[in-house]
Chain A
């Protein structure tokens, strides 16, 4: 979920920008290091940013009547690792702001933090944990992506609640309010995206395990359904 242009007050916009900056810098450093070993990875990361953008422009089939778009954060984190996702998310969010009027320039920092830092981190940790305790890959992916989406939406709600605390109830009441309002669209979205990612991975794992291995993925070769 993106915070629209101009919705956050100036101080919040600046602070979230400053918080996201080191993650983007770290991500760029990790990409640079990988590209030095394997130059063709630069193209892959650039092209994957475009892929994520296009994926996020697709309409998801409705689960409860609300129409939503996938974020691609969970998938990206599992494909590239959480670090590389911060710069990729920055590019995708910038394109979304300038080409689709989705999100904005002043809220870029806040949106990068929720979609490029928190979401991917949650997805990646859950995915690794699932692999560690040998859960079926499909289940692991579904849980990782769904919870990544939910954590992104909760982060956004926290950002909004911090910026606009309830006059009486303060931060907690505001958080309940924003999380409650956006839950209507975000919870179906998270479940849809989790399902979609599992389906997508099944197809990929079945037909093109080689391409996935290029990314250094800790995936089971037998496919996600196993």
Chain B
């Protein structure tokens, strides 16, 4: 999990999560508020530059991460560009149904806006995900008054994810080395067994967790210390300024 890896080791790891969260929130708002592709493009460039130059995330990894949502983006944009009910250019007919597929210029304008907006929002999301570990993001959510139970469940889940991924990887390797994934039928059977075993391991783990907590005086509330970050008014002001100007730009630039 590349995102998590960099969240713990980037130049801005030790900045207060509130500052990074504030900037991300404002940048996300700016991306969605943008009515001109140019405004969204500016949000994208600023957030990407902050992540790559500011937080020193290697450019190659960053570009590779940007490819992750490409599948949905292409399919979604295709949905905007193409029309079955008429448009400017007839592209052809669908083989099975005989429906005509058109390309429309109005769709093109919309697709460009949606695409730049989505990329801007992805850059904002990546800024948070690449600079701030999950534990700090949970701390941020606590400040936003998210119910304690949900946060407890998040902390519990986050701690187990890496263990389960490791177990799943090992089981898969063991199965694969016994030709468990040699055919499609085998793959299904192997994956079913893997899932069932993983569930059992998860179930056992939850019981062990509960027992170990009870033996240490657990009274149905999980409490944990959060790291103290030095408050920097300068950074807070910078985050507000950068995020705020992005938002103002997005609101002002006409479509």
Q: Which residue numbers of A lie inside 8 Å of B, CB to CB?
A: 2-7, 9-10, 13, 24-25, 28, 31-32, 35, 39-40, 42-51, 53-55, 57-58, 60-63, 87-88, 90-92, 94-95, 97-102, 104-106, 160, 164, 166-169, 173-174, 176-178, 181-182, 192, 195-196, 198-204, 207-208, 211, 214
Q: In the complex, what distance in Å separates the CA atom of A60 from the CA atom of B106? A: 38
Q: A58 and B191 in contact (CB under 8 A), knowing A40-B207, A99-B134, A101-B68?
A: yes
Q: CB distance B122 to A47 under 8 Å? A: no
A25 to B84, CA, bound (A): 40
Instruction: Please name all residues of chain A whose beta carbon is closer than 8 Å to the beta carbon of B129 when the two chains form the complex.
Output: 97-99, 101
Which residues of B have CB within 8 Å of A164? 79-80, 110, 114
A49 touches B75 (CB 8 A): no
Tell which of B8-16, B50-58, B160-168, B236-244 binds the partner: B160-168
| Bound-state Cα–Cα, A195 to B137, Å | 36
The residue in chain B whose Cβ has the minimal distance to the Cβ of A43 is B206
Asked whether B147 lies within 8 Å of A203 as measured between CB atoms, the reply is no
Contact for A31 among B76, B128, B149, B202, CB less than 8 A: B149
Q: Which chain A residue lies CB-closest to B117?
A: A6
A46 CA to B163 CA, complexed, in Å: 14
A48 touches B202 (CB 8 A): yes
**Chain A proximity mask over B27-38: 1 for CB below 8 Å, otherwise 0:** 011011100000
Given contacts A55-B198, A95-B134, 20 further A-B contacts (CB under 8 A): A5-B118, A6-B31, A7-B76, A7-B117, A7-B121, A39-B220, A42-B153, A50-B164, A101-B65, A101-B122, A101-B126, A164-B80, A168-B87, A169-B86, A173-B83, A177-B83, A177-B84, A178-B79, A199-B191, A200-B199
C-alpha spacing A12/B86, complex, angstroms: 26
Contacts A4-B118, A44-B206, A98-B137 given; does A177 touch B82 at CB 8 Å: yes
Which of the residues B125, B154, B159, B202 comes within 8 Å of A101, measured between beta carbons? Answer: B125
- B249 at interface (Cβ–Cβ under 8 A)? no
CB closest residue in chain B, given A98:
B129
Count of chain B residues with a beta carbon within 8 Å of a chain A beta carbon:
83
Min C-beta distance of B157 to chain A, whole Å: 4
Contact A182 B154 (CB under 8 A): no
Query: Knowing A6-B120, A99-B4 touch, does A47 contact B156 (C-beta < 8 A)?
Result: yes
Report the tally of A-B residue pairs with Cβ distances under 8 A. Answer: 251
B residues with a Cβ closer than 8 A to A are: 1, 3-4, 28-29, 31-33, 65, 68-69, 72-73, 75-76, 78-80, 82-87, 104, 106-107, 110, 114, 117-122, 124-126, 128-129, 134, 137, 147, 149-150, 152-161, 164-165, 168, 172, 181, 184, 187-189, 191-200, 202-203, 205-207, 209-210, 213, 220
Give the chain B neighbours of A207 by CB distance below 8 A.
196, 200
Q: How far is the CA of A97 from the CA of B17 in the complex (A)?
A: 18
| Cβ B79 vs Cβ A47 within 8 A | no
Residue contact B210 to A95, C-beta cutoff 8 Å: no
A199 to chain B, nearest CB (A): 3
